[in-house]
Amino acid sequence: MKNNDIKPAEGHLGVMIVGCGAVATTLMTGVMMVRKGLAKPIGSMTQMDCIRVGRGAAKQYLHYGEIVPLASLDDIVFGTWDVYPQNAYQAAMYAEVLKEKDIEPVRDELERIVPMPAAFDKNYAKRIDGTNVKCSMLNGQCSIPTRWEMVETLRDDIRRFKQEKQCQRIVVLWAASTEIYVPVDEKVHYHLSDLEAAMKADNREKVAPSMCYAYAALAEGCPFVMGAPNTTVDIPAIWELAERMRVPIAGKDFKTGQTLVKSGFAPMIASRCLGLSGWFSTNILGNRDGLVLDEPENFRTKEVSKLSTLETILRPDVHPDLYGHGNDEDTQYYHKVRINYYPPRGDQKEGWDNIDIFGWMGYPMQVKINFLCRDSILAAPLCLDLCLLSDLAARAGRYGIQRFLSFFLKSPMHDYTRGEQPVNHLYQQYTMLKNAIREMGGYEPDEEID
């Protein structure tokens, strides 16, 4: 293994998760079972994937941990915040993602993980009714803390957890519900000083609770990963804080089911120069995420994230004959996304895609995709990889937006204030990921992105 200037992964890595629901408990249970040798980390790139390094006679295929110093699964310590007080074992049983036989071997460990009170504002997730929330006492009544009070109490939580669990490093991961859509406001979200002023003024319309988590994590020098489509990390003020504190950030929204298919299948259409008239996507989902997304304001946040996937892969401005048809204005293909809450399905999400394409001489064809997946089973390994790679990036001296983590995310971060376009093409994202690992490991980043 080549030497490179990366701090070693010594001591405990604290993974503090916002949300102790299906995704979080599936992640925690899986890691614990793998540590006991009772399961395999299927779907985790950091644990299973190999990357070529070197060329010719020097060529070899190595696991990520053989190229860069990743934290060991044995060194991970979990903590959570959640609006429900149930411990991680109770939450895992309630979620019904995993069978009881796959939870019981690590029951003792899970029971010791009791969620801290969440920084929560019901206006941002109206379908959630939890009592384990932070409150500010006013005239003997418990009320929602101000946004700045949320930040301060969350920073206290991080410091206390780090000390009590004797962690050398912390990564904060959002695996909670999708908040209502918060449009970017230049007067609040473009500069850190304006965001801080809005927090101190308790501007609850422009400052989401998730922004308080992100601010608290970065202020404490902890990488922050946004696993939902919330606006949280998509604002220049948070980029400014991440760069000032020299801490990595990543987001947004775990790329698990339908969007994973979309980001992989759309390049096939583009590479064969086939045309697209329309792409209709619909989902049924019955877990708590589906319940929250049944609220129109929350679905709007998810819709914006899911609709963005095709924009940089099938571009009508570059290929108007192929992608300049479909909607009433005849400017591009028609793209529609729907999510339907269907309780009987639970965590076993089903996605249907109807894709109307056309080929030689404009003759129409269709592609139908029916993906019966398990939402948390696909999300858990992404969470592990994002935490381990964010920790790696921090030890490698990387900070700010981590574009190489786009592979794992539905709506990749990018600097839209400078006209930057996100990379949504799955195989270009995979190349970015591999090149970053090579570079951090002291090897030449020798693959072309395009």
Helix axes 426-440, 258-271, angle to 10 degrees: 100
pLDDT number for residue 328: 52
The three-state secondary structure class of 83 is coil
Average pLDDT over residues 294-320: 78
12-254+376-440 carries CATH number 3.40.50.720: yes
- Fold for domain 258-372? Dihydrodipicolinate Reductase; domain 2 (3.30.360)
- Count the neighbouring beta carbons within 10 Å of the beta carbon of residue 280: 14
Q: pLDDT per residue over 153-185, tens digit each?
A: 999 999 999 999 999 999 999 999 899 999 999
pLDDT number for residue 326: 55
| Highest averaged pLDDT of the listed ranges 68-82, 249-263, 299-313 | 68-82
Q: pLDDT per residue over 97-148, tens digit each?
A: 999 999 999 999 999 999 999 999 999 998 888 899 998 766 667 788 999 9
CA distance 50 to 186: 43
- What band does 332 get if pLDDT is binned at 50, 70 and 90? confident
DSSP state of 316: T
Sheet holding 350-358, edge to edge: 334-341, 275-285, 350-358, 364-372
CA distance 203 to 86: 31
DSSP state of 220: T
**Where are the CATH 3.30.360.10 domain residues in the chain?**
258-372
pLDDT number for residue 299: 65
What are the backbone angles phi and psi of residue 310, rounded to the nearest 5°? -80, -15
The three-state secondary structure class of 61 is strand
**Where are the CATH 3.40.50.720 domain residues in the chain?**
12-254+376-440
Task: Give yes or no for a contact between 353 and 369, defined as CB atoms under 8 angstroms apart.
Answer: yes
Tell me which amino acid residue 151 is. V
Computed from CA positions of residues 146, 152, 157, 160, in that sequence, does the dihedral angle turn out positive or negative?
Answer: negative
Q: pLDDT per residue over 392-421, tens digit each?
A: 999 999 999 999 999 999 999 999 999 999
- What's the whole-number average pLDDT of the chain? 92
pLDDT number for residue 302: 63
Task: Tell me the CA distances in angstroms from 352 to 283, 340, 372, one per residue in order.
Answer: 6, 12, 9
CA distance 24 to 177: 12
CA distance 364 to 283: 25
What are the backbone angles phi and psi of residue 169, rounded to the nearest 5°? -145, 155
Q: pLDDT per residue over 34-69, tens digit each?
A: 999 999 999 999 999 999 999 999 999 999 999 999
Q: pLDDT per residue over 243-262, tens digit each?
A: 999 999 999 999 988 889 99
One DSSP character per residue, 84-128 reads S---HHHHHHHHTSS-GGGTGGGHHHHHT--PEEB---GGG-TT-
- What band does 2 get if pLDDT is binned at 50, 70 and 90? low
Query: What is the end-to-end Cα distance of the chain in Å, rounded?
Result: 28
- pTM for the structure as a whole: 0.93
